[in-house]
């Protein structure tokens, strides 16, 4: 079997209401799918992390740079393909968009391999440790409104996510340290004393402000403090981890085993959050997971994107061994964006309906059963939302 074509599909639509986080507001939802076709009629699907114009730039990398490197290759030779592409791109991008582009291609090759072997992804990477995953719901995004309006909305939205059946919730911050503490206090009031909540800063603080906010989160019994400082500030991560009782998490902006090596050897994180659609795909994710577990750092994958990303992560989380093991180990959770996302809810021929699963099961989602990723995109849907042919 040979690879005959690699196609990049960038999908977009206008949101009914603008959403924001600490770095920007956005009014369009984007998904970037990668399709790898073969001479025997089988197709694999993957996804690249990166919104808006980043997705358009990644489309060019996928189709104009990576595709010529892998045409004619056997799709099962995933590791050989990965290292050949990485080596040829090494002088031009060891991090960032080239790795995001390679991630989508690599995920598609794993999907293809599963279809060839007749096995789901979770079986290919080692086997299931669990058939379903607890799901946490995040929302509470920033808007162009005053602090008091944010406080009232965050309290209500946090309670709604809890009542929808999710096992935990996550909020955004980015209004300034003092105002962000008010937001966290509102979320704690909204969910009650015992419900886990997490705080995502998207690296908006200097270490001193992050410490100020983090100490307030300690008092509120937050579960983790995500990306409190810039991803380059490893000393800041170490300082926060040594001074806070709240777990310090991060890593979605890190790439490959070589980037993750510094985070983990530096003892920067309590919880690692690799993004499989960015760091290098499934092939590289498995190496990062091994590194994290070698340092006894639990992993809760970062998940953002379409149903392809969700399905990929369900498989990887199902196959993740417990660390350190035992009768009642800490279980990984699936991250689930509760805001409007047609590319997650309507993309597939047979939708996964994560929200419905969570509501019925008391907070859990099942792993797709079919070969590869176990899901199939609806081509009519793709054609309807594709921005660049």
Q: Has residue 385 been placed in a domain?
A: no
Residue 22 binned pLDDT confidence (cut-offs 50, 70, 90)? very high
Q: Has residue 376 been placed in a domain?
A: no
The last residue of a domain, from among 97, 118, 139: 118
Residues involved in catalysis: 302
At a CB cut-off of 8 Å and minimum separation 6, what does 197 contact?
Answer: 158, 168, 169, 170, 171, 184, 187, 188, 191, 222, 223
326, pLDDT greater than 90: no
Q: Are residues 164 and 277 in the same domain?
A: yes
Q: Are residues 44 and 151 in the same domain?
A: no
Tens-place pLDDT, residues 218-255: 999 999 999 999 999 999 999 999 999 999 999 999 99
Q: Are residues 82 and 227 in the same domain?
A: no
Tens-place pLDDT, residues 83-121: 999 999 999 999 999 999 999 999 999 999 999 999 999
Report the distance separating Cα 157 and Cα 164, nearest Å: 10
Q: Are residues 351 and 207 in the same domain?
A: yes
The last residue of a domain, from among 118, 145, 174: 118
At a CB cut-off of 8 Å and minimum separation 6, what does 300 contact?
Answer: 249, 271, 272, 273, 332, 333, 335
The gap between the terminal CA atoms of the chain, to the nearest Å, is 26
295, pLDDT greater than 90: yes
Q: Has residue 24 been placed in a domain?
A: yes
Q: Are residues 54 and 174 in the same domain?
A: no
Q: Has residue 178 been placed in a domain?
A: yes
As beta bridge partners, residue 36 has: 6, 44
CATH code of residue 324: 3.20.20.120
How many degrees, rounded to 5, is the angle at CA 132 between CA 170 and CA 301?
45
Residue 351 binned pLDDT confidence (cut-offs 50, 70, 90)? very high
Q: Has residue 17 been placed in a domain?
A: yes
Q: Are residues 279 and 200 in the same domain?
A: yes
pLDDT at 23: 97
Lookup: tokens for 60: 């060019």
Q: Has residue 70 been placed in a domain?
A: yes
Of 319, 379, 273, 348, nearest to 123 by C-alpha is 319
Lookup: tokens for 196: 């886990």
Q: Has residue 160 been placed in a domain?
A: yes
pLDDT at 330: 85
Is the pTM of the predicted complex or chain greater than 0.95?
yes
As beta bridge partners, residue 2 has: none
The last residue of a domain, from among 118, 153, 173: 118
As beta bridge partners, residue 19 has: 26
Question: How many domains does one find in the chain?
Answer: 2
Strand 43-47 versus strand 24-38 pairing type: antiparallel
Domain containing residue 89: 3-118
Tens-place pLDDT, residues 273-285: 999 999 999 999 9
Q: Are residues 275 and 341 in the same domain?
A: yes
As beta bridge partners, residue 386 has: 11
pLDDT at 389: 59
Q: Are residues 293 and 187 in the same domain?
A: yes
Q: Are residues 61 and 22 in the same domain?
A: yes
302, pLDDT greater than 90: yes
pLDDT at 271: 98
Q: Are residues 209 and 341 in the same domain?
A: yes
Q: Are residues 195 and 181 in the same domain?
A: yes
Lookup: tokens for 329: 């180990």
By percentage, how much of the chain surpasses pLDDT 70? 100
Residue 329 binned pLDDT confidence (cut-offs 50, 70, 90)? confident
Q: Has residue 319 been placed in a domain?
A: yes
Mean pLDDT of the chain: 97
Q: Are residues 30 and 146 in the same domain?
A: no
Average pLDDT estimate for 184-195: 98
Average pLDDT estimate for 316-322: 97
CATH code of residue 40: 3.30.390.10
């Amino acid at each position: 079997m040979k690879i005959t074509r690699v196609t990049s599909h960038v999908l977009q639509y206008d949101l009914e209401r603008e959403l924001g986080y600490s770095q920007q507001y956005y009014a369009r939802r984007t998904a970037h799918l990668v399709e790898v076709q073969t001479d025997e009629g089988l197709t694999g699907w993957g996804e690249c992390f990166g919104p808006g114009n980043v997705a358009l730039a990644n489309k060019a990398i996928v189709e104009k740079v990576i595709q010529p490197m892998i045409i004619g290759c056997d799709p099962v030779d995933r590791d050989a393909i990965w290292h050949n592409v990485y080596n040829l791109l090494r002088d031009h991008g060891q991090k960032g968009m080239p790795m995001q582009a390679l991630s989508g291609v690599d995920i598609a090759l794993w999907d293809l391999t599963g279809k060839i072997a007749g096995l789901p992804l979770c079986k290919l990477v080692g086997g299931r440790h669990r058939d379903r995953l607890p799901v946490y719901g995040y929302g509470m995004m920033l808007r162009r409104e005053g602090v008091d309006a944010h406080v009232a909305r965050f309290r209500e939205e946090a309670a709604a996510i809890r009542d929808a059946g999710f096992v935990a919730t996550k909020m955004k911050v980015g209004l300034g340290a003092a105002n962000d503490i008010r937001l966290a206090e509102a979320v704690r009031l909204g969910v009650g004393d015992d419900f886990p909540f997490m705080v995502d800063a998207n690296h908006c603080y200097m270490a001193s402000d992050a410490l100020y906010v983090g100490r307030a989160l300690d008092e509120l019994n937050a579960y983790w403090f995500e990306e409190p400082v810039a991803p380059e500030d490893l000393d800041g991560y170490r300082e926060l981890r040594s001074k806070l009782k709240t777990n310090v998490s991060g890593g979605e902006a890190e790439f490959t085993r070589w980037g993750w090596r510094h985070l983990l050897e530096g003892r920067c994180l309590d919880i690692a959050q690799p993004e499989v659609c960015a760091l290098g795909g499934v092939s590289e994710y498995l190496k990062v997971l091994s590194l994290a577990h070698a340092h006894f750092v639990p992993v809760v994958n970062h998940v953002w994107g379409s149903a392809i990303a969700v399905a990929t992560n369900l498989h990887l989380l199902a196959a993740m061994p417990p660390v350190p093991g035992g009768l009642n180990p800490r279980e990984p959770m699936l991250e689930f964006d509760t805001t409007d996302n047609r590319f997650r809810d309507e993309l597939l021929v047979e939708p996964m309906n994560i929200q419905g699963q969570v509501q019925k099961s008391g907070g859990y989602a099942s792993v797709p059963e079919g070969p590869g990723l176990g899901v199939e995109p609806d081509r009519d849907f793709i054609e309807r939302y594709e921005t660049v042919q």
